[in-house]
Structure 1
Amino acid sequence: MTISSEETLEHPASFARRGARGTTARFRAGYEARLAHAAGITLYESFEAAEPVWRAFEARAAGTAFQSFDWLSIWYRHVGERLGIEPAIAVVTRAGEPLMLAPLGIERRFGLRRLVWLGGRLADYKGPLLAADFEARLDGGFEALWRQIRRALPRHDLVMLDSQPVSLGTPSAPLGNPFAVLSSSPAPDAAYVFDLPSTFEEFSQRYRAETRRIDRSKFRKLDAAGEVTFRFAETAEERVAMAEDILSRKAAQLAAQGISSIFGEADYLAAWRDLAALPEERTLLEVAELRLDGEFLSGSIGHVWRGRATLMVHTYDPEMLPKLSPGRLHLLKLLQSSIERGTGTYDLSVGYAAYKESFCDTPMEMRNTVAGTSLAGMGAAAAIRTGLAAKRRIKRDPRLMGLVQRVRAALA
């Protein structure tokens, strides 16, 4: 059977638990649970229980930093736990070696139990960590494995797996995301990921000669305006301080456009601070600033993971030399630095912006899986799919999107 977001998934069986909640892996009684265990599936109810296998596996697995133990455990400590989300972290093994880790959870909302990816709004990409040879070692197809995983999961009314990239690899070495095949419904936004060449000069040849000339002219004018500094935070203390300033500026920038964001929410800010404060050997965030005579021009927060740099937050001061496009100059500095350090892939993350298309010719599709597993869940799934389809239509129609932006600005 092929599972899609338009089909109703079978209702997971409910089993009695054995063992203390949140301290060990979940083991359930019953025939279907024994089948799942025999299939090499272990379900963990807590981050503490999953940490050893998670950290060992992520060191060699394919995926994104948004599925790393540090990223998701910090999110859960500050956000997920407060929301009452119950971890349901599924680890699939073959011949005693992890094949896949799926960081799932059960979220209660509007009286329904929803199966979701962990990470909430702090994760641009959601999905599993995979062994590099996942496809070769997977026997019986992913649909069969997914049915086995669902047998091990707690009861839920609705499957709501959003923000799933179709590939967990790179443009030159794609690795299909098996969860993306559960749905044929594209998400409202695409992602902008591209490979980097060995030199910045080679990279700059990707855009028109006139664009290169304008960029060089703006760099010269900026240098002539005063002392220009572009630097990365070098210590945890600097990362925290710079990140807090950039997030504050980004929140204000979005609020002026009538857009609410996580950047001003206390729980999410606490999570950002903890990510920035990770010790050097586990550093994830890369925080940078562009300044003129000490005055802020532009700032960014990103991360580097397995040779892939991802830009998550980028903001600039609209009052400071807008004709010189400091935001673009900042991004060019980031790209040049990434190339010089040997980074192979750059990721401008999810969501349309005109400047992204100038760097990435082929956006990567994102998919959502929405399906009911109970009568109440079926109705909710139909409503959610309708809403997502409307959102996708608006975002892909410049006239409708322009209307939305004007309304937001008027209400701000």
Structure 2
Amino acid sequence: MTMAAVIEDPTTAANAPARSSGQHIAHVEVFHDLREVEPVWRSLETLQLSTPYQRFDFLSSWQRHVGTRTNLQPCMIVASDAGRRPLLLLPLAAGVENGIRVARFMGGKHTTFNMALWRQEFAATATQADVDTLLHGIRDLPAKIDVLALTRQPQRWRDLQNPMALLPNQPSANGCPLMRMAPDAVPSERISNSFRRRLKGKERKLQALPGYRYCVATTDAEITRMCDAFFAIKPLRMAAQKLPDVFADPGVEDFLRAACLAPLAEGGHAIEIHALECDAEVIAIFAGVADGQRFSMMFNTYTMSENARYSPGLILMRDIVDHYAGRGYTSLDLGIGSDDYKRLFCKDDEPIFDSYLPLTARGRMAAFGMSSMARAKRFVKQTPALKRMAQTLRGALRR
């Protein structure tokens, strides 16, 4: 572990709203050992404002299996008050990109949302002065980070503003479709009766299959069986769609299997798996993270057999929506991207943003380049003609 004390700038401190000294950042430290930071991380999970993607069990599994294999060094930033009470933890991993040392959120492309773990009472009152102090402290750490590339951050979480939105930012290239679920709403308010009837008609074909059922994997044996099915089907499905198989990247399968099996203290697992199956096969799989208020989709696939004709993915999605609504959840998202099936369920969007923050002189040009590339990517995705052209070109290059 290395550390650096942060002394607040007098001008900034003078302009900040009056607040008890326990609510100010006084120290910023960096930890490179997951075991050393684990007690602080887990304590913040119980007092936190963050998404379920920031759980220790989830991200430590990613770092062990993916981050380490891709030469990414853990850089967990902890900011604390004068009494060394942790106020927030930034779960980052740093690596060299084109000669520049860049720190990004742990989890890579497998997290929909990225956040710091904030002590909720601090997040609720955090000001511009607080996040400026945090950035100043990170800049002075001996970790020698050139750029903070903090992408896919939600503007708000659990009705509180994400304090990192006070730093310079821009809209993310892709949006995240969101379904809001009002407590005690009737099922037709979540999914219309006409859509339910269409799905019920398709499901009758599947119900004729011996042993047809919807299930949530809870035992190690069920989870392992579902993972086996996913990693057998997904490469075939991606190849059929002429898409790259991101699940074949080094360490990804080991990471996902470990996170699916990791039990949480409050019950459930770091990743929850839902499936439609029959005695002959697993027909469809959707998996994601849940925190008592929201379910967030991570990955999915469906059979290559004739049973794919009956929209098993949509049927399973209906079951998942009803499952979490019955447990009192208030929202559900289907991950980053604008696939047509997502709009059948999700009518809103979760605002998400990126920040590319230079910490050194040589990081300035790199941060500008990253920001510009992200803006260009967003422009293409927001322009239908350009998006179709990009998709055509991508498909031609993969033939």
Same fold (TM over 0.5): yes
**Residue in structure 2 matched with residue 75 of structure 1 by the alignment:** 62
AA paired with 1:109?
E
Instruction: Output the aligned Cα RMSD.
Output: 2.6
Q: How does 1:304-323 map to 2 (within 5 A)?
A: 304-317=290-303, 319-323=305-309
| 3-state secondary structure, aligned to 1:35 | coil
The 1:100/1:392 distance shift into structure 2, 3 A limit, reads same
2:135 to 140, 147, 163: 147
1:103 and 2:91 are equivalent in the alignment:
yes
Distance 1:239 1:339 in 2: 23
Q: 1:190 to 1:38 in 2, by over 3 A?
A: closer
SS at match of 1:328: helix
Residue 176 of structure 1 pairs with residue 161 of structure 2: yes
- Taking the aligned partners of 2:364 and 2:223, their CA distance within structure 1 comes to 45
Question: What is the CA-CA distance between 1:75 and the residue it aligns to?
Answer: 1.0
Structure 2 SS opposite 1:58: helix
- Report if the CA contact (8 A) 1:394-1:400 is conserved: yes
Partner of 1:164 in structure 2?
A: 153
Return closer, same or farther for 1:207/1:194 CA change in 2, 3 Å cut-off. closer
Between stretches 51-60 and 245-254, larger displacement belongs to 245-254
SS of the equivalent of 2:171 reads coil
- Relative to structure 1, the CA distance from residue 403 to residue 297 in structure 2 (aligned partners, 3 Å threshold; closer, same or farther) is farther
Aligned to 1:258: 242
Choose 317-326 or 234-243, whichever is displaced more. Answer: 317-326
TM-score by length of 1: 0.83
Change (3 A) 1:61 1:135: closer
Query: What's the CA shift for 1:221?
Result: 4.0
CA distance in 1, matches of 2:271, 2:90: 23
Rounded Cα–Cα distance in structure 2 between residues aligned with 1:140 and 1:205: 39
Quick check: 1:300 aligned with 2:312?
no
Q: Which of residues 2, 18, 42 is equivalent to 1:55? A: 42
Letter in 2 for 1:108: V
Match of 2:372 in 1: 386
| Mean Cα deviation higher: 401-410 or 232-241 | 401-410
Provide closer, same or farther for how the CA distance between residues 158 and 40 of structure 1 changes in structure 2, counting only shifts above 3 A.
Answer: closer
How far the C-alpha of 1:208 sits from its partner, in A, is 4.5
Q: Distance in 1 between matches of 2:132 and 2:361?
A: 23
Alpha-carbon distance, 1:380 to partner? 2.4
2:7: which partner in 1? 35
Contact conserved, 1:41 with 1:90, CA < 8 A, in 2?
yes
Q: 1:231 to 1:372 in 2, by over 3 A?
A: same
CA deviation string 1:50-106 (max 9, x = no partner): 111111110231211211111111111112123332322122234554321111232
For residue 275 of structure 1, what is the aligned residue in structure 2? 259
Q: 5+ residue gaps in structure 1?
A: 1-24
Listed as ranges, the gaps of 5+ residues in structure 2 are: 9-23
CA, structure 1 residues 135+391, in 2 after alignment: closer, same or farther (shift >3 Å)?
same
After the TM superposition, which parts of structure 1 deviate over 4 Å for at least 4 consecutive aligned residues? Answer: 206-209, 224-227
Shift of 1:356: 1.8
* Counterpart in the other structure of 1:129: 117
Q: How much does 1:267 deviate? A: 0.7
Match of 2:343 in 1: 357
Equivalence for 1:348 = 334
Which stretch shows the higher mean deviation, 121-130 or 132-141? 132-141
Q: Is the 8 A contact 1:61 1:129 kept in 2?
A: yes
Letter in structure 2 aligned against 1:89: M
**Structure 1 residues 293 and 326 mapped into 2: Cα distance closer, same or farther (>3 Å)?**
same
Q: Which has the higher mean CA deviation after the structures are superposed, 334-343 or 225-234?
A: 225-234
Q: Out of 231, 237, 244, which is 2:215 matched to?
A: 231
C-alpha change, 1:141 and 1:403, in structure 2 (3 Å) is same
| Equivalent residue, structure 2, for 1:3 | none
Q: CA deviation at 1:144?
A: 2.5
1:194 — aligned with what? 179
Is the contact between residue 172 and residue 378 of structure 2 (CA under 8 Å) also seen in structure 1?
A: yes
Q: Distance in 2 between matches of 1:313 and 1:243?
A: 11
| Equivalent-residue separation in structure 2 for 1:345 and 1:38 (angstroms) | 32
Kindly, what percent of the aligned residue pairs are identical? 26
Match of 1:245 among 189, 204, 229: 229
CA contact (8 A) 1:74 1:275 kept: yes
- Please give the per-residue CA displacement for 1:22-60, whole angstroms capped at 9, x wherever unaligned: xxx3234xxxx4527971333322111111111111023
In structure 2, the CA distance between the partners of 1:397 and 1:38, relative to structure 1 (3 Å rule), is closer
Q: How many aligned residue pairs are there?
A: 379
* Aligned mates of 1:88, 1:104 — CA distance in 2: 5
Quote how far apart the aligned CAs of 1:226 are.
Answer: 5.2
Pair 1:125–1:248, CA change in 2 (3 A) = farther
Q: What is residue 51 of structure 2 aligned with on the other side? A: 64
Residues of 2 paired with 1:143 and 1:358: CA distance?
Answer: 38
- Whole-Å Cα distance in 2 between the matches of residues 241 and 293 of structure 1? 13
1:330 to 316, 331, 351: 316
Give 1:335 deviation, angstroms. 1.2
* Cα distance in structure 2, aligned partners of 1:370 and 1:178: 15
- TM-superposed CA distance for 1:222, in Å, is 3.2
Query: Secondary structure at the residue paired with 1:350?
Result: coil
Q: 2:293 and 2:226 mapped to 1: Cα distance?
A: 23
Where 2:48 maps in the other structure, the secondary structure is: coil
Change (3 A) 1:376 1:217: same
